Structure 1
Amino acid sequence: MWSHLTAFVAASFLIALSPGPGTAMVLRQSVRGRGSALATVAGMEVGVACWAVAAALGLSVLLTASEVAYHALRIAGALFLVYLGVKAFLSASRPPSVEPPTSAAFRSGLVVNLANPKLGVFAVSFLPQFLPVDAGKGVLVVFALVWVAVDTAWYLVLVTLLDRIRGVLSRSGVRRALERVSGGVLVALGLRLVLDAR
């Protein structure tokens, strides 16, 4: 059991390090303030927890079995990423605004991960590889929660590092560049999700 868990923690950490929509969102929100960045992370992790527990309980297998559900969620997720990207790109040309309410940042993080069917499919294929042969539902749920904890820990480290250099990130030229880059990344990820049918 412990050897399985150790391997799982190491793999989860490597996956957390790989950049994606979450990294782009946290970078963008860090410019606005630590509160927004933390709320975004909280929303993203609730989304990851939902997919991880669904995978542990066997529910996300339904997503892989239903083409209609998968594609509907894929298109919705892609549209939301493009929306966030365009919003970030447009805000680069505006003067810096006050830090947005944390509820909006939380919702953005939550929707980005809940509307990502690839996260569900990934959870279905990732979790079972590390489970002991005789693992029951309780062990599955523990592994799912460990995945969320590792992912959360990485994003908290990232938020802390970005908060330390927020003075630099908040400079108008740097802020505009970050808004444009994160906006471009989010749009590109959204378009990739649309074009990648499976």
Structure 2
Amino acid sequence: MFGIHDLTLFIVSGLLLNIMPGPDSLLIMTRSATQGWRAGVVTALGIGAGTMVHVLAAAIGLSALLATSAAAFNVVKWVGAAYIVWCGIGMLRAKLKNADAPAQAPATPPRLPYRRIFAQGFLTNVLNPKVALFFLAFVPQFIDADAPNKALAFIVLGCIFNFNGMLWCNGLAVFTAFASARLQVKPSVALWLNRVTGGLFLLLGARLALAERT
């Protein structure tokens, strides 16, 4: 159908790729642990929206531009790296709210509005040119050379990949929030988790800045 082959292999491979730890998983776990499952789910939705941008861009050929143009790749790479580093610095600078308040008002990590959480998940994904190149390299392997509409087949496979990814990401958000509640993570621990993730984001931003096209 649609010129797609080995769909089961594609689904299994996609699930395994989604399970691999990366900046998306780190961001989801941090938001769920510090702000609850809803924040984690909103982060996942932002990541899913960013993934669909890559899918559609690859389907209409924009990702091919990143693969062939060093200038275009570098522009997206540096913007993405700068944004990830900016997010990391924000996490590192986070402080407990109500730290100077009376004892009956416990200090808690700062809570971000959902629209900002969604935007953070979206931008960390959509500004990563490696994701675009991944779709360009991975998805066509499951499309027949003589498929009548390769762009449609690409979009169908991209939607399947993203749907499976959303199942994993939302499950990770709920599980992390549940585990955090069960373990009764203290606000100070949640704050340091936020800061550790911020440090990892700095490293990921530096890694993205040094990335080369493959």
TM normalised by structure 2 equals: 0.85
**Consecutive unaligned residues in structure 2, runs of 5 or more:** 98-106
Deviations 1:106-148 (Å, cap 9, x if unpaired)? 1001111111011111110011112233332322211011011
1:164-175 equivalences in 2 (<5 Å) = 164-167=178-181, 168=183, 170-175=185-190
The count of residues paired between Structure 1 and Structure 2 equals 198
In the alignment, structure 1 residue 84 sits paired with structure 2 residue 87 = yes
Counterparts of 1:32 and 1:74, CA distance in 2 = 29
Given the alignment, which residue of 159, 171, 177 partners 1:157?
171
TM-superposed CA distance for 1:93, in Å, is 5.8
**Consecutive unaligned residues in structure 1, runs of 5 or more:** none
CA contact (8 A) 2:48 2:166 kept: yes
Counterparts of 1:195 and 1:159, CA distance in 2 = 30
In the alignment, structure 1 residue 180 sits paired with structure 2 residue 187 = no
3-state DSSP of counterpart to 2:21: coil
Partner of 1:62: 65
Counterparts of 2:116 and 2:78, CA distance in 1 = 22
Task: State the one-letter code of the partner of 1:89.
Answer: L
TM-superposed CA distance for 1:98, in Å, is 5.4
Partner of 1:125: 137
Structure 1 stretch displaced more, 109-118 or 56-65:
56-65
Counterparts of 1:96 and 1:56, CA distance in 2 = 44
Counterparts of 1:169 and 1:14, CA distance in 2 = 30
Partner of 1:193: 208
Rg larger in structure: 2
TM-superposed CA distance for 1:99, in Å, is 3.1
CA contact (8 A) 2:95 2:109 kept: no
- Same amino acid, percent of matched pairs: 28
Q: Segments of 4+ in structure 1 off by > 3 A?
A: 92-95
- For the aligned residue pairs, the C-alpha RMSD in angstroms reads 1.8
Higher helix proportion: 1
CA contact (8 A) 1:57 1:141 kept: no
CA contact (8 A) 2:44 2:169 kept: yes
In the alignment, structure 1 residue 39 sits paired with structure 2 residue 42 = yes
Counterparts of 2:110 and 2:202, CA distance in 1 = 24
Task: State the one-letter code of the partner of 1:48.
Answer: T
TM normalised by structure 1 equals: 0.92
